[in-house]
Amino acid sequence: MEPLTGIGKIDRERIAAIIRGTKGTISVGEAAGILNVASTDVAKMFSRWTKKGWMSRVRRGLYIPVPLESRTADVPLEDPWLIAERLFAPCYIGGWSAAEYLDLTEQIFSTVMVMTVQKPRDRSPKIKDIGFMLRTVSEKAMFGLKPVWRGQVKIPVSDPTRTILDMLSNPIFGGGIRSTKDMFINYLRSKNKNLEQLIEYAQRLGNGAVFKRLGFLLEMIAPDETETIDQCRLRLTAGNAKLDVTLSADRLITRWRLWVPENWKRLKQVD
């Protein structure tokens, strides 16, 4: 562990001013504006403060302050969502991370799911021992979001319906189709259930596979939702999709144009 060492009065005042003027994360450019000095000089200050243990480097040019009560500079990320918003905006927290926040699952995922307009080369970065899973979405797909305050920063998070939609679009966002199904069941049992909105969101997203998976799952777990099931049937697109692209699928449910694993064949229907 890197121990903390003392710093002088001027450095303390500068650090205090920077912390007051920022929100959780600190860039060299922001600090330069606050202190009214050149970025090159600030970069040197941060290098010195990092060596002394008063700043912790997240990425090149981005830092977080080390809490006064800390005995070491090797501090973990207190809130990975702040880092996600800072590094990957425009973005939102979605998939399993949103599901955890919305109490749609009791599973604990160690990786933070981030939907971003950016096209990062590394889609699975690890920052200070926290893993991120990045998926690119179009700007027009940035809907169905709500702001969540984390400290002084508003972080966009997918609302319950959009969270389910993303998982139906690609079950990997829910950790696979089995956990996606469990989260969908919890959604159907929750006060946030809104199947009319789910159909509306799915139309807006324009992913035909969503209606195939949604109709199939509803017939399996909520067959009384006949109106929504009929809406899915009306919106089926040509071609066959897979229930989960990561699983082998040897059974075609022609009713839904959906390939499913043999052990998922539990529908009481004629296909």
In a domain, 73, yes or no: no
Report the domain count for the chain.
3
In a domain, 164, yes or no: yes
DSSP 8-class letter at 174: G
Judgement on whether residues 58 and 86 belong to the same structural domain of the protein: no
* Contact between 235 and 211 (Cβ < 8 Å): yes
C-alpha span between 41 and 264 (Å, rounded): 62
Distance in angstroms between the alpha carbons of the first and the last residue of the chain? 62
* Contact between 256 and 209 (Cβ < 8 Å): no
Q: Which residues of the chain have pLDDT under 50?
A: 1, 73, 267-271
2, 3, 4, 5 alpha-carbon torsion, rounded to 10°: -110
Judgement on whether residues 217 and 267 belong to the same structural domain of the protein: yes
Judgement on whether residues 173 and 249 belong to the same structural domain of the protein: no
In a domain, 169, yes or no: yes
Judgement on whether residues 179 and 85 belong to the same structural domain of the protein: yes
Judgement on whether residues 152 and 49 belong to the same structural domain of the protein: no
Q: Could you count the other beta carbons within 10 Å of the beta carbon of residue 129?
A: 9
Quick: pLDDT tens for 207-257. Answer: 999 999 999 999 999 999 999 999 999 999 999 999 999 999 889 999 999
Quick: pLDDT tens for 76-105. Answer: 567 899 999 999 999 999 999 999 999 999
pLDDT at 268: 44
Judgement on whether residues 23 and 95 belong to the same structural domain of the protein: no
The pTM (predicted TM-score) of the whole model is 0.85
In a domain, 2, yes or no: no
Judgement on whether residues 98 and 183 belong to the same structural domain of the protein: yes
pLDDT at 6: 64
In a domain, 71, yes or no: no
Judgement on whether residues 14 and 101 belong to the same structural domain of the protein: no
Judgement on whether residues 128 and 171 belong to the same structural domain of the protein: yes
Cα-based distances in Å from 113 to 75, 220, 248: 22, 28, 24
**What CATH number does the domain containing 58 carry?**
1.10.10.10
Point out the domain boundary residue: 193, 226, 261. Answer: 193
In a domain, 253, yes or no: yes
Q: Which range marks the domain in which residue 21 is found?
A: 9-65
Dihedral-angle region of residue 74 (phi above 0 means left; psi in -120 to 50 means alpha; beta otherwise):
beta
